Amino acid sequence: MMTELEQRQQQVIEEFSVFTDWMDKYEYLIELGKELEPMPDADKTDQNIIKGCQSQVWLTANFADGLVTFRADSDAIITKGIIGLLVKVLSDLPPKEIIDADLHFIDAIGLRENLSPTRSNGLVSMIKQIKMYALAFAS
């Protein structure tokens, strides 16, 4: 049986499969970014900033009923779309599933190879931070 995480990844891959052109993929990321619920300003603290991104990215995590819930925001819209995608795939899962997650959808939708190195590093930093939170809640 396909896990919840795998189902979500497959869904994202399917959504992106209709785009033939990178501009369309960006349009979609921009949409995702705009749809992402803005984070309260009070949470946009230095402590919640993810380092290694050219734009500012904030991430918070909550642990309740065995599940980790993430919220994220960025001052750049495309970046917000990307972190939104990660939140969509990884939020509301048990810590262990997040820690062990093999995020193959990133390669499948061409995100990793098509993002500039600075952004690519940003993506790596985002995933690292998400997993760090899960690790903290797992212990």
Partner 1 sequence: MSFDVNEIRKDFPILEQTVNGRPLVYFDNAATTQKPRRVIDKIVEVYTQYNANVHRGVHTLSNRATTAMEESRKTVQAFINAESEREIIFTRGATESINLVANSLGQKYLSADSEVIVSEMEHHSNIVPWQLLENQGKTKVVKWAFDDRGELNLAELEELITDQTKLLAICYVSNTLGTINPIEQIIAIAHSHNVPVLVDASQAIQHFPIDVQQLDCDFLVFSGHKIYGPTGVGVLYGKEQWLNQMPPYQGGGEMIETVSFGGTTFNQLPYKFEAGTPNYVDIIGLGEALRYVNSIGLENIAAYENELLKYATDKIQTISELRQIGTAERRASVLSFVADCAHPFDIGSILDKLGIAVRTGTHCTEPIMQHFGIPGTVRASFAFYNKIEEIDVFYEGLKRAIKMFK
Out of 53, 59, 83, 126, which one is annotated catalytic? Answer: 53
Taking the least distance from each CB to partner 1, the nearer of 65 and 113 is: 113
Helix (H) or strand (E) segment spanning residue 101: none
Report if residue 19 touches partner 1, rule: CB under 8 A. Answer: no
CA distances (Å), 138 to each of 52, 88, 103, 122, in order? 25, 20, 19, 24
Minimum CB–partner distance for residue 60 and partner 1 (Å):
20
Q: Please report which residue ranges of the chain form alpha helices under DSSP H.
A: 4-17, 22-35, 77-90, 95-100, 105-108, 111-114, 117-138
The answer to whether residue 55 forms part of the interface with partner 1 (CB under 8 A) is yes
CB closer to partner 1, 61 vs 85: 85
Judged by phi (left if over 0) then psi (alpha if -120 to 50, else beta), residue 65 lies in left
Q: For partner 1, which residue of 77, 99, 108, 124 counts as binding (CB under 8 A)? A: 77
56 binds partner 1 (CB under 8 A): yes
Residue 63: strand pairing partners:
68
Q: How far is the CB of 33 from partner 1 (least distance, A)?
A: 9
* Active-site residue flag, 101: no
Backbone region of residue 17 per phi and psi (left: phi > 0; alpha: psi in -120 to 50; beta: other values): alpha
Type of residue numbered 41: D
Contact flag: residue 99 with partner 1 (CB under 8 A)? no
Q: Contacts with partner 1 in 57-76 (CB under 8 A)?
A: 74-76
Active site residues: 53
Residues that bind partner 1 (CB under 8 A): 22-23, 26-27, 30, 54-56, 74-79, 116, 119
